[in-house]
Structure 1
Amino acid sequence: MTHTRPSLGAVQETLLIPLYGRAAEHRKPEPALRDPRAVELVAAIDYDFSRFDELPSLTGSVLRTLLFDFWTRDFLGRHPAGTVVEIGTGLNTRYERVDNERAIWFDLDLPDVIELRRAFFRDTPRRRMLAASVTEESWLRVVGEQSGGPCFFSAEAVLPFLDEADVRRVIERIAAAFPGSWLALDSNLPRLIEAQDEHDALSKVEARLRWGCADIGVIADWVPGSRVIGSHTMTTLPPDVRDALPAPSRRMLDELTRRQLPQVEGYHMHLIQLP
């Protein structure tokens, strides 16, 4: 097998963690998520994934992906010909899981990530890769020129690596360019940012989180009229997501709920409707 050696910046390297998490989950007897493409990618990439073996946060990344998948399906159910923008797409395979054969998709990430992604994915008439930083404005113009219908922006495990000023600027620009769009993102309480050197996965890479958010309601201050449609922790997933999990995953969540671990309860996933 020909192996691809990734050449990624510190923050970009973190994309390999959820990729490995999906591949590891797929191999379980009762997986919460099936992703054969992730298994293929892990096998094709020359990287020491063993450093992430058995990490509890791998399961957390899978649950987060399931929630973002759920939100994307909900959006496409309401807007079948809409546009999905994967911000910080990494080697995500959400398109393979939830595409409805009508929507327009954009996979946005930094140039080194897109170079790696092009080793495994190709542009199609409905799906295009964009090499740019989320903090730039150029990609917004491209999406605006080519999008079809309302837009869903998925920023999974991306914005916490930015400074708060950049997070605010990104959200303000999306709201101004795409009124009424949906934005899915995640956040960490400030105390988790302070304790990240003890995190099971982040302690094994160089990248560090920068944005701590005590209250997601701050987005309504940044962009008046914004509305929080959903806000969840790992232990408060929507019933439709939790009930679809296999029994081992539900038992694990029951145990986490009982223990009320700060690193679990302090991590949140949000769905915002912009004005």
Structure 2
Amino acid sequence: METKIGQVAKTAFLTLQCHALDATSDYPILNDTDSINTFETLKEKTGFSDFNSNQIKRSLINHIALRARQYDLFATSFIEKFPDAAIVNIGCGMDNRFKRIDNGQIQFYDLDLPEIIAIKEKIIPPAERYKQIAKSVFEFDWLNEIERDHVFLLAEGVFMYCEPVDVKNLFHQLHKKFTNPEIVFEVFNSKWLSGWRGKTMAVKMKKQLKLGEETVFKFGIADSNEIENWNHNYRYIQDWCYLDSDQANLPFRKFLQSIDSLRKIQWTVYYELESN
């Protein structure tokens, strides 16, 4: 019997399947071989029917693999500076990130909705330095579970599904709770949230990815440094886009990369929330 899972939560399963497809490809990018077993175990334990592999475009698999690898690189760079840091994986899904980046000292927290964590803990059990938190990121009492001085947070494919006011409040709580936390997160261009662009994206999510109305994007920004306007202590560090990688298997990649409006449809930004 298939476990009942919401549409947004199912995006975590799609991400995992893309990791597994990448790992079994001739030229893997992320090469997360653990994802193969994780995905097969997921199907066994939940009765989940996988997304039709023939309908998952190679460009999407590459995109998700490149994104995960880049987020790993951001995290490991922070860990090199602070070897005993706390790493918080917001909207973790079924990802194996802890195993990919662990240095033997970090404290790692996977944070996701209870329906996801209830499944994940049966497949990837928690351990001494690997905790799982079954909460919405907007239930802010989870902040009290983070015990290290240096905090790095990742939100890969999360905030675009959230209400803008909730995202802003989260940043306020992070800034208030931690000393100079750093956060890397995926964003969507606000110009594509409505009108014909918004309809185009909704059709893509529904038809190509077989995801329903719950997966409509709600939060977006116009440029990478826009979040500095929320608070003068929010410092933009850098951004990253799929088109920035030589392994992005797209025709005319260099040309597309040079056009800011195309590079910044869905991309990643990196911020430090500096203490007062």
TM-score exceeds 0.5: yes
Alignment partner of 2:128 out of 125, 129, 143: 125
User: How far, CA to CA, are the matches of 2:52 and 2:191 in structure 1?
Assistant: 25
CA 1:171–1:27 in structure 2 vs 1: closer, same or farther (change >3 Å)?
A: same
Q: Secondary structure at the match of 2:237?
A: strand
Q: Which residues of structure 1 form unaligned runs of 5+?
A: 243-248
CA 1:170–1:52 in structure 2 vs 1: closer, same or farther (change >3 Å)?
A: farther
Q: How far is the alpha carbon of 1:219 from its aligned partner?
A: 1.8
Q: In the alignment, which residue of structure 1 is the partner of 2:272? A: 273
Q: Secondary structure at the match of 2:117?
A: helix
Q: Secondary structure at the match of 1:49?
A: coil
- State the AA in 1 paired with 2:110: D
Question: What percent identity do the matched residue pairs reach?
Answer: 20
Q: How far is the alpha carbon of 1:41 from its aligned partner?
A: 1.8
Q: In the alignment, which residue of structure 2 is the partner of 1:208? A: 216
Q: Deviations over 1:92-129 (max 9, x none)?
A: 11111111010001111111010011111112111110
Q: How far is the alpha carbon of 1:191 from its aligned partner?
A: 3.5
Q: Which residues of structure 2 form unaligned runs of 5+?
A: none
- State the AA in 1 paired with 2:48: Y
Alignment partner of 1:16 out of 13, 16, 21: 13
Give the total of aligned pairs. Answer: 258
User: How far, CA to CA, are the matches of 2:92 and 2:53 in structure 1?
Assistant: 20
Is the CA contact (8 Å cut-off) linking 1:234 and 1:253 kept in structure 2? no
Q: Deviations over 1:139-168 (max 9, x none)?
A: 01121xxx2220001111111110111111
Is the CA contact (8 Å cut-off) linking 1:79 and 1:149 kept in structure 2? no
Is the CA contact (8 Å cut-off) linking 1:109 and 1:134 kept in structure 2? yes
Q: How does 1:6-45 map to 2 (within 5 A)?
A: 6-44=3-41, 45=43
Instruction: Please state if 1:48 is matched with 2:54.
Output: no
Q: How far is the alpha carbon of 1:43 from its aligned partner?
A: 1.4
Instruction: Please state if 1:229 is matched with 2:234.
Output: no
CA 1:272–1:99 in structure 2 vs 1: closer, same or farther (change >3 Å)?
A: same
Question: Which stretch shows the higher mean deviation, 43-52 or 95-104?
Answer: 43-52
Q: In the alignment, which residue of structure 2 is the partner of 1:246? A: none
Is the CA contact (8 Å cut-off) linking 2:237 and 2:270 kept in structure 1? yes
Q: In the alignment, which residue of structure 1 is the partner of 2:68? A: 65
Q: How does 1:121-200 map to 2 (within 5 A)?
A: 121-143=124-146, 147-193=147-193, 194=198, 195-199=200-204
Q: Secondary structure at the match of 1:152?
A: strand
Is the CA contact (8 Å cut-off) linking 1:192 and 1:263 kept in structure 2? no
User: How far, CA to CA, are the matches of 2:232 and 2:2 in structure 1?
Assistant: 45
Q: How far is the alpha carbon of 1:215 from its aligned partner?
A: 2.1
Is the CA contact (8 Å cut-off) linking 2:149 and 2:179 kept in structure 1? no
- State the AA in 1 paired with 2:238: G
User: How far, CA to CA, are the matches of 2:116 and 2:205 in structure 1?
Assistant: 23
- State the AA in 2 paired with 1:83: A
Is the CA contact (8 Å cut-off) linking 1:19 and 1:91 kept in structure 2? yes
Q: How far is the alpha carbon of 1:216 from its aligned partner?
A: 3.3
User: How far, CA to CA, are the matches of 2:53 and 2:264 in structure 1?
Assistant: 22
Q: Secondary structure at the match of 2:72?
A: helix
Is the CA contact (8 Å cut-off) linking 1:57 and 1:200 kept in structure 2? no
Alignment partner of 2:82 out of 52, 59, 79: 79
- State the AA in 2 paired with 1:114: I
Q: How far is the alpha carbon of 1:80 from its aligned partner?
A: 0.2
- State the AA in 1 paired with 2:233: G
Q: Secondary structure at the match of 2:187?
A: strand
CA 1:219–1:179 in structure 2 vs 1: closer, same or farther (change >3 Å)?
A: farther
Is the CA contact (8 Å cut-off) linking 2:233 and 2:273 kept in structure 1? yes
Is the CA contact (8 Å cut-off) linking 2:236 and 2:272 kept in structure 1? yes
